[in-house]
Amino acid sequence: MSGEEILSSVSQVSDETEFYTPMPDGYIRGRCKYVVIVGTVMSGLGKGIFSSSLAKLLQDKGLKVSPIKLEGYLNIDSGTLNPFRHGEVFVLDDGMECDMDLGTYERMLDIDLGRSNFTTSGQVYTEVLHKERHGDYLGKDVQMIPHVTGEVKLRLRQLAVDSQADVVFVEIGGTVGDVENAYYIEAMRELAYEEGPGSVCFVALTQILEPRVLGEQKSKAAQLGVKRLMEMGVQPHIIACRATNPVNEKVRQKIAQYTNVPMERVFSMHDCESIYVIPNMLRELGYDFEVIRLLKLDQRVNLRQERKAWLKWCDFVDRLDVVNYEINIGITGKYTSLRDSYASIIHALENSGTNLAARVNIEWIDTTDITDANAAEKLADMHGIIVPGGFGARGAEGKIACIKYARENGLPYLGICFGFQMAVVEYARNVCGIKDANSSEVDSKCKNAVIDILPGQKGIKSLGGNMRLGGRDVEIAPETFAWNLFGKKNSVRMRFRHRLEVDPNSIEMLTKNGLVFSGKAPGESIMQILELPDHPFFIGTQAHPCMTSRPLRPQEMFVGLVAAGIQKANPDKKLPTPIEAAEKVRKQSGQRKK
Ligand code: GLN
């Protein structure tokens, strides 16, 4: 039986056949193509960066793309994962807590993703077990093949139907050879068989080792890694070789010889200075048209649209080399040793810097030993600081000392989520005179909790998915600093992930003493943006503005912080204010004022 016949006749469980391929309503075979990216040799090769860059090239050509990440772990989402081990927990507009790679896709493709773009083994098994209890397998013994793999294929095809994508980009987590990811690869083998030739393009990302003692590039690990994939019945179409230096001809020949992949599809993907030049690099190497040819997408390509999109992107990439200013932004935090924990903040800062011709040096500040007495010394070289999102009490007092210093000394400040809450605590203590003010998360016995648990969160015991999550509209108060910064918009959509909020009973006391709440939840007394009118730049938000910041449209709070930092570093020059800089960047990226 051919793949086509399988698709047309056996989408339901039946006693007549061993085949099982559940199909979503409205699925048309051949309409959507798939690019599957797997990693060999080791993790951390940048599958998400590679995949999103390739997807961008196809998107620029007028094709609709939709990415999906398949994670091997049994967690239902990334909400309970420690960012110190797994990188930041990224939140999508529909509230899904997911892997940081989804942030990479959103930034590179400038699209909003949702829960159908993120699957874990926990989700897949839960669904299969649910169907089993429901009797959906009609007396059959439920097996990894075909039932669990069938569920994976169903999800991809459902995404194809819902997104109307020309190409679904499937990124498989981990590395070929991992037990927990093996069934995903098997599902992809089945998918390729069922969809038929020219429908699925497999890309193997591999690493070329270059031991310093040998001083030459070695391909054996890469060969063995790809072999392992072939043992699973998957023949890659493209091999992307990650390496420190350009991969030499001989190594590429060896890999081609051992893997049946023609030389012209064995690419060198060596290190480069910024991830944002990778789309250009892949384009110059011809990956885009290799994929177009393999998937027979020539007819759907719109070259005129590509020219426009490409010029816009190149404009941004060219700016990477224009550095007129250099500033230091300090980020205080618990996971200061791991850049991945703060990935979207770093990107938002760097992208804002690129748009304002500034190099932003990020300085990691451990707050555990910062006090009012030494804050001036510790922050002496900073042109701005961020207190980012966080949970728990550790380092909180040091963060409050940093905020006090920033407030009193005109140091630009951006408080994100926990950093917004700590700014409220600092103001209550040092301006309103409530010496024991705190957040009930930091001190559960606190009598003056100006930050307290949201009423809707009280009494919730389970730890997964129980926060105020996802994209929400924030109402901006007219004529405030935030309103001007956002180009006089009355509403801005941002992403949230928190359990606590400003205690509604403390709002009056705080505002009477000069703190301005310039953003709030529509129809509720949940405060979401604060600002200090007489400070060069002091702003905080209960949201995570970094998660909606995109290279070509950096979020205004970050643009404002960087602009204020540039002013701080160049006190003698007449430079754009944060509000002027935000307006300039919006114009530069062709955004219209609302
Ligand atoms: N821990 C705080 C809360 O739950 C802040 C959360 C955050 O910074 N993401 O409200």
Looking at 79-88, 235-244, 361-370, which range is the least confident one? 79-88
Please state, in angstroms and rounded to a whole number, the distance separating the CA atoms of residues 559 and 577.
10
Q: What atom in ligand 1 is closest to the CA of residue 467? A: 4
Q: Are 204 and 238 in contact (CB under 8 A)?
A: yes
Please state, in angstroms and rounded to a whole number, the distance separating the CA atoms of residues 586 and 369.
40
Q: What atom in ligand 1 is closest to the CA of residue 416? A: 8
Strands 33-39 and 516-520: unpaired
The residue written with tokens 């497999």 in the block is 202
Q: What atom in ligand 1 is closest to the CA of residue 500? A: 10
Pocket probe for ligand 1: among 391, 416, 546, the residue whose CB has the most ligand atoms within 8 Å is: 391
Does pLDDT of 594 surpass 50? no
Does pLDDT of 192 surpass 80? yes
Other Cβ atoms closer than 10 A to 129: 11
Question: Does the beta carbon of 65 sit less than 6 angstroms from any atom of ligand 1?
Answer: no
Question: Does the beta carbon of 391 sit less than 6 angstroms from any atom of ligand 1?
Answer: yes
Summarised one tens digit per residue, pLDDT across range 291-339 is 999 999 999 999 999 999 999 999 999 999 999 999 999 999 765 556 7
Note the pLDDT of residue 5.
Answer: 56
Question: Does the beta carbon of 265 sit less than 6 angstroms from any atom of ligand 1?
Answer: no
Note the pLDDT of residue 465.
Answer: 63
- State the DSSP H helix or E strand holding residue 270, giving kind and residue range, or none if neither: strand 266-270
Other Cβ atoms closer than 10 A to 445: 7
Q: What atom in ligand 1 is closest to the CA of residue 451? A: 10
Q: What atom in ligand 1 is closest to the CA of residue 497? A: 9
Name the token pair of 170: 């499937």
Q: Are 552 and 538 in contact (CB under 8 A)?
A: no
SS (H, E, C) 467-532: CEEEEEEEEECCCCHHHHHCCCCCEEEEEEEECEEECHHHHHHHHHCCCEEEEECCCCCCEEEEEC
Please state, in angstroms and rounded to a whole number, the distance separating the CA atoms of residues 47 and 101.
9
Note the pLDDT of residue 43.
Answer: 82
Name the token pair of 586: 């919006």
Summarised one tens digit per residue, pLDDT across range 149-166 is 999 999 999 999 999 999
User: Residue 213, class by beta-carbon neighbours within 10 Å (0-12 exposed, 13-18 middle, 19+ buried)?
Assistant: exposed
Question: Does the beta carbon of 77 sit less than 6 angstroms from any atom of ligand 1?
Answer: no
- Alpha helix segments (H runs only) across 219-264: 220-231, 249-259
The residue whose CA is least distant from atom 5 of ligand 1 is: 418
Pocket probe for ligand 1: among 82, 421, 451, 454, the residue whose CB has the most ligand atoms within 8 Å is: 421
The residue whose CA is least distant from atom 6 of ligand 1 is: 498
The residue whose CA is least distant from atom 9 of ligand 1 is: 389
Summarised one tens digit per residue, pLDDT across range 46-72 is 899 999 999 999 999 999 999 999 999
Please state, in angstroms and rounded to a whole number, the distance separating the CA atoms of residues 298 and 300.
6
Note the pLDDT of residue 150.
Answer: 96
Looking at 30-39, 329-338, 475-484, which range is the least confident one? 329-338
**Region 560-585 average pLDDT:** 97
* Rg from Cα positions in the chain: 26
Looking at 382-391, 425-434, 454-463, which range is the least confident one? 454-463
Question: Does the beta carbon of 390 sit less than 6 angstroms from any atom of ligand 1?
Answer: yes
Domains of the chain in start order, with CATH, are 21-314 (3.40.50.300), 323-588 (3.40.50.880)
pLDDT band, very low/low/confident/very high, at 467 (cuts 50, 70, 90): confident
pTM for the model stands at: 0.94
Summarised one tens digit per residue, pLDDT across range 339-360 is 788 999 999 999 999 999 999 9
